[in-house]
Chain A
Amino acid sequence: MFYRENGQFKTSYKADQQIFPIPQDRWVILAIVVFAFVGIPLLVDEYLFRAILIPFLILSLAALGVNILVGYCGQITLGAGAFMAVGAYASYNFLIRVSGMPALAAILLGGLTAAAVGIVFGAPSLRVRGLYLAVATLAAQFFWDWAFLRIKWFTNDSSSGSVSVADIELFGWTISTPTDKYLFCLGILVLFSLMAKNLVRGSIGRQWMAIRDMDVAATVIGIRPMYAKLSAFAVSSFYVGVAGALWGMVHLGSWEPAAFSIDRSFQLLFMVIIGGMGAIAGSFFGAAFIVILPIFLNQMLPLVGSLFGLEVSIALVSHVEIMVFGALIVFFLIVEPHGIARLWSTGREKLRLWPFPH
């Protein structure tokens, strides 16, 4: 009823090509962003920041990167965790080895290093696709897991294998409290989401999608598969690498190679599949689903148990949590194989016409 486009006419192509052509969308998104910057820091306590919100932001960023590659360019990857690790360790090395290196520059350089590594490990995509490509990217995961564990130079010869960084500083603003970290990650996420949206609605995004949907037709139009695929790998790895740098340097502070294991790669891929491939919003939905739902279940199960007069042990909670979580993934994929983002857009379509069915 309130979400209608009647009487909204575009008089220029510029107005028609905005990111959010419908004013209601624009205002809602703006309100959400303002609330995230101003409202949440006033309302939320430290635990929520550390356990939910900061991981959600950083993993959203990583999922966004994976979505560019998997959802937009149609190239499957199981090496996202490795690219996060490359981003984290590269930015760590830039920070400690180059004196006077600003933390933000180190994080971005970490992302660029991940992009370069992504191009190298993306090269098999020129020859193989689908599951075979998944296996080829899995090689990246195993290689970097090994490298960061065994090659001491990467970890600055630390004896335990774990590395740690001091609180980072940004133009005189020391990012130490959870609120600071949250705001910093949020700022980067908003900026990067905007960039991703611009990329996918522009000519490079159309090249990626063309390669994804019909590669022969794409080459006939003059799209070079090599450029399209490798640029998708580069941009994707850049995003994932920056996310990795934030995960290590801002969220964890000190970490071991295990922080970016193959579990992380799968988790990111699930986020994209559940959230919605080929939709920017899908990355956020997927990250929210995977980060928040287990914690929510963890809190809810004892309550549900007490309703029935049952004492629920902690071990049981964690088992049931995994079972319910798995069942929900299956349920979502059956109900809407295109992910939560598709549910969201179908909902909006319906709302536009409400209360009429057509």
Chain B
Amino acid sequence: MSGRKIGEVILDLKNISLSFGGVKALQDISFDVREHEVRAIIGPNGAGKSSMLNVINGVYRPQQGEIILRGEHFANMNSYKAAKAGLARTFQNIALFKGMSVLDNIMTGRNLKMKANMLLQAFWLGPAQREELEHRLKVEEIIDFLEIQHIRKTPVGRLPYGLQKRVDLARALAMEPQILLLDEPMAGMNVEEKQDMCRFILDVNDQFGTTVVLIEHDMGVVMDISDRVVVLDYGKKIGDGTPDEVRANPDVISAYLGASH
């Protein structure tokens, strides 16, 4: 990877515990994410990976622990605060706005940056129109970047799965996030689509300097593109380090392959 420099800790999670009734989804998990790095979260099914992402961007509220984002403590993270603080995410089972076109979906990602009030919008007066055009320009850059020009006006419901995943990423990128959370960006894709998606993730990381936190099941992909990996199993952290360290970790091996007792 080119001139990318991994910086200070940008996101620090301390002693996060989350439970749903009696189910302990996450138990006392701590890890950090450094600026500009690609950080992977892996683990078997039900390990709590998606819950972890949901805690980071405020969809779930952990019973214990705190989130420190660029030195700022967030005891009560919620989705709105997370979005304001520059966190964007994509979803495991695509959560696009089905009734809207690709363009509108991505434009929705610009929502927080659009300020014109309702009256101006109703009459499509100067500032509202200007704003719409400015943001359209930005959105078109993202459309070019992800190579989805040809489907700009298509309703997302009509798109094949691989392209929907790409639109999901485009919508997250439209927020110009500092940290991008990707929940299984390559699930259900064929090799070619996976390659494209890897390229996009690395390009985002490289060109925009976006920090990436991703969950992925494809170990080849994870080991290739991530700088550091954290491993969860049954809501506990069992490994943390570079791909090579994690690969050699006996706990991780036993979680994935089973160990003889």
Binding site for B on A (CB under 8 A): 13-14, 17, 195, 198-199, 202-204, 206-207, 209-210, 212-214, 216-224, 231, 235, 278
A-side contacts of B118, CB under 8 Å: 199, 204, 231, 235
CB contacts (< 8 Å) of B99 on chain A: these are: 209, 212-213, 278
Chain B interface size, under 10 / 10 to 19 / 20 to 34 / 35 or more: 35 or more
Asked if B229 CB lies within 8 Å of chain A CBs, one says no
Contact flag A217-B95 (CB < 8 Å), given A13-B133, A206-B108, A222-B84: yes
| A-B residue pairs in contact (CB < 8 Å), sample of 23 | A13-B133, A17-B133, A199-B118, A203-B111, A203-B121, A203-B132, A204-B121, A206-B100, A206-B108, A206-B111, A209-B104, A209-B108, A210-B97, A212-B99, A213-B96, A213-B99, A217-B96, A218-B97, A220-B59, A220-B82, A221-B112, A223-B111, A224-B80
Residues of B within 8 A of A214 (CB): 95-98
Q: Which residue of A lies closest to B137 (CB)?
A: A13
Closest to B108 in A: A206
Interface string of B110-150 (1 = CB under 8 A from A): 11101010100111100011011100110010000000000
Nearest-CB distance from A163 to chain B (Å)?
Answer: 31
Measured between C-beta atoms, what is the minimum distance from B92 to chain A in Å? 12
Indicate if B27 sits at the interface (CB-CB under 8 A).
no
- Residue pair B114, A203 in contact (C-beta under 8 Å): yes
A-chain residues with CB within 8 Å of residue B109 when the two chains form the complex: 221
Question: Does A14 contact B112, Cβ atoms closer than 8 Å?
Answer: no
Inter-subunit contact B98/A221 (CB<8 Å): no
Question: Judging by beta carbons under 8 Å apart, are B137 and A210 in contact?
Answer: no
Q: Kindly provide the distance from the CB of A354 to the nearest chain B CB, expressed in whole angstroms.
A: 20
Please determine whether B132 and A17 come into contact, CB atoms closer than 8 angstroms.
yes
Cα(A218)–Cα(B104), bound, Å: 13
Interface contact B104-A206, CB-CB below 8 Å:
yes
Q: How far is the CB of A193 from chain B (nearest CB, A)?
A: 11
Main secondary structure of the interface of B (DSSP, over half): helix
CB neighbours of A203 from chain B (8 A): 107, 110-111, 114, 116, 121, 131-132
Cβ-neighbour of A220 out of B57, B116, B133, B136 (below 8 A) = B57
A219–B118 CA distance with the chains assembled, in angstroms? 19
Cβ of B124 to closest chain A Cβ, rounded Å: 4
Residues of A within 8 A of B124 (CB): 198, 202
Interface pair B122/A199, CB less than 8 Å apart = yes
In the bound complex, CA of A13 to CA of B143 (Å): 14
Is A207 within 8 A of B123, CB to CB? no
B85: min CB distance to chain A, Å? 10
Q: Report if B175 contacts A (CB, 8 A).
A: yes
- In the assembled complex, how far is the CB of residue A76 from the closest CB belonging to chain B, in whole angstroms? 16
For A235, give the chain B residue with the smallest CB separation. Answer: B118
B200 at the interface (CB under 8 A from A): no
Complex Cα gap A202–B124 (Å): 8
Q: Give, as a whole number of angstroms, the nearest-CB distance from B174 to chain A.
A: 9
Given the complex, which residues of B lie within 8 Å of A210, measured CB to CB? 97, 100, 108, 111
B223 at interface by CB-CB < 8 Å: no
Q: Which of B114, B122, B131, B175 contacts A198 (CB 8 A)?
A: B122
List residues 81-96 of chain B with CB under 8 A from any CB of chain A: 82-84, 88-89, 91, 95-96
